[in-house]
Amino acid sequence: MILENMTSTNVFNLKIDACPICHSQKIKPWITKERAGLRFKIFRCSTCDSGFLNPPPSKEYLASIYATSGHGLTHPVSFAEILRAEAECPNSTVDAKRIVGHAKQLLGLQEARGLRALDIGSGYGFYTRAAMEAGFAVFAVNPGTWENEIFVKMNGFQPIQEFFEGVDLGDEKFDLIILSQVLEHVQKPLFLLHKIKSILRPGGVIAIAVPNVNSFLVKLLGAKENGCLWVPEHVSYFSKDGLVFLLKRAGFKIMQHLFISRIPYYAVSNRLDLQGIGRNLSNSLVEHIQ
């Protein structure tokens, strides 16, 4: 795995003294997590209530991880495996249809034929598939080789295999830009949003989904939570206030805010190492409360 044999000298940049989301200097250490012999410190901002890795990982270190996978994979997976996992817990399919559906409403559309969408960090391709089914002509950008292999089988075309920050789209403009589970991976989120704004048509919609640092699982599990608080891949941990602040700084008008993702029913029992009756009760409770 990429993380093996890495040391702090080539993993981290210099420590920062202000929140990368709102630029407040009212920051303090919050949680320390270990992975592959490395310690990653998460700071929390008292102004926007978001978190971030400090010191941040180096760009080169993160690029070495994302070259193959943005999902923490240690080996390629098959299309059948991804479909089986999605059938068991269909978060991506449900979220993709909801996000694309709400985007169409905000665009004032009954029919999306002829409109263009860009899926940034397209992953396995569930959001692209939902946008195509809704009628959009979809373009996709994603650096991970293993995800892109699944994407091609799901959607029939190859994403641009690069980080979006380095992609030159020329004069291309889009009606819908999808940024699902991407912004938390980005070290300079304001720069990314400014670039997105430059390719969004007037009246267009950007649909963003990020993990919630104030979620039920984070509050319950603390440092043991590895969905939102995933290190080192996640470099920012957004609160609602933090995301709103960042979008306003980038010049976007916020039209709608939704909590969308369901917690996998087995997430709590896995993290607490529950077995037997305790595991069954936990799984049933999580399924029931959502």
76-99 as b/e, with b when 16 or more CB fall inside 10 Å? ebeeeebeeeeeeeeebbbbbbbb
**Cα–Cα distance between 271 and 224 in angstroms, integer?**
7
261-272 confidence digits (pLDDT tens): 555 555 555 655
pLDDT tens digits along 169-189: 989 999 999 999 999 999 889
Amino acid identity at 130:
A
Is the torsion defined by CA of 14, 17, 19, 23 positive or negative? negative
Task: Look up residue 60 and give its DSSP letter.
Answer: H
* The pLDDT of residue 67: 77
Four-CA torsion 26, 28, 33, 39, nearest 10 degrees: 100
Tracing tokens 């390629």 back to the chain, one arrives at 76
Residue 206, classed as helix, strand or coil, is strand
**Mean pLDDT, the chain, whole residue set:** 87
pLDDT for the residue numbered 256: 87
- Cα 150 to Cα 102, 180, 183, distances in angstroms: 26, 17, 22
Q: Can you tell me whether residue 39 is helix, strand or coil?
A: strand
The C-alpha atoms of residue 206 and residue 121 are separated, in whole angstroms, by: 14
**Which value, in Å, is the radius of gyration of the alpha carbons in the chain?**
19
pLDDT tens-digit profile, the chain (290 residues): 344 444 555 889 999 999 999 999 999 999 999 988 899 999 999 999 999 999 999 988 888 888 777 777 788 999 999 999 898 888 889 899 999 999 999 998 766 677 999 999 999 999 999 999 999 999 999 999 999 999 999 999 999 999 999 999 989 999 999 999 999 999 889 999 999 999 999 999 999 999 999 988 899 889 999 989 999 999 999 999 999 999 999 999 999 888 765 555 555 556 556 677 666 565 555 555 44
Token pair for residue 258? 């939704």
Output the six-digit token pair for 184: 């938390």
Q: List the end-to-end C-alpha distance of the chain, in Å, as a whole number.
A: 35
